[in-house]
Amino acid sequence: ALFDDAPKPLQGKRAIVTSGPTHEPIDPVRYIANRSSGRQGHAIAAALAKLGADVTLVSGPVTIADPDGVATVHVESAREMLAAVEKALPADIAVMVAAVADWRAADSAMQKMKKKPGEAPPPLLLAENPDILKSIGHHQSRPALVVGFAAETSNVEAYARDKLSRKGADLIVANDVSKAGVMGGARNAVTLVTKDGAETWPDLDKTEVAARLAAWIAGSLSGAPAA
Ligand code: CTP
Ligand code: CA
């Protein structure tokens, strides 16, 4: 805004953020999806923009509004999400927050599948979706800072550390979704896992997690120690 003279440590930096679930069609009326409101990813896109970054938000289907000051691209499936992320490259920062469906229907039907009296339900054959974080983490135009999320229900830090190395990320923000109210809720308690160690933040509003993460990213790109 015109009179906003807040510091802009990410001025001139480009960021890509994914958010929300993906929907994988089974037929024209049915889909496979993960639970995700998009709240955390959208808040991170807004927080990066507030620090001056030029942000492209690639969002799966959500009911929340596009954040102000961010270029939002709407997609449905994981394959569409990957294509939109690659189209937004090159970037300095990638933050992959989307709850991407790991599998899609191997063949989605062009016509609505109908129940047939007396017949058993049809089997659902699955195919693996592309791993967007992993492909960006190993991309030839890899952003300088690649951040992933990990929603876990157990062994949170160990699984996060495994994802950090497998996916080529610099930071994994891990959260324990076995705790009531995280999925779809307003608050989040996260552990930041890097190759150097782990740091657990208190239970915070998702907008506060986003603000702190944006500041952490700005500090990391400036070479300063994380706050
Ligand atoms: N992710 C992605 N594309 C996928 C799957 C996951 O970009 N096809 C990203 C998520 O956005 C998140 C990170 O990878 O930043 C971790 O996602 P998660 O589902 O926890 O990891 P998976 O590798 O799918 O492992 P699993 O679900 O088996 O725990
Ligand atoms: Ca997964």
The CB of 98 under 6 Å from ligand 1? The reply is: yes
In a domain, 61, yes or no: yes
115 is in an annotated binding site: no
SS3 content of the chain, % helix, strand, coil (to 5): 25, 30, 45
Question: What's the chain's length in residues?
Answer: 227
In a domain, 198, yes or no: yes
Tell me the ipTM for this assembly: 0.98
Mean pLDDT of 5-15: 93
Residue 184 has pLDDT above 90, yes or no: no
Q: How confident is the model at residue 223 (pLDDT cuts 50, 70, 90)?
A: confident
The answer to whether residues 175 and 156 touch, using CB atoms and an 8 Å cutoff, is yes
pTM: 0.94
Parent domain of 105: 14-109+125-221
In a domain, 5, yes or no: no
Total tally of structural domains belonging to the chain: 1
In a domain, 116, yes or no: no
Burial class (CB in 10 A: 0-12, 13-18, 19+), 106: exposed
Of the listed ligands, the closest to the CA of 166 is: 1
CATH number at residue 103: 3.40.50.10300
Query: 7 or 148: whose pLDDT is higher?
Result: 148
In a domain, 50, yes or no: yes
172 is in an annotated binding site: no
In a domain, 94, yes or no: yes
Q: What is the overall mean pLDDT for the chain? A: 93
In a domain, 227, yes or no: no
In a domain, 114, yes or no: no
Residue 177 has pLDDT above 90, yes or no: no
The CB of 136 under 6 Å from ligand 1? The reply is: no
Atom of ligand 1 nearest to the CA of 136: 7
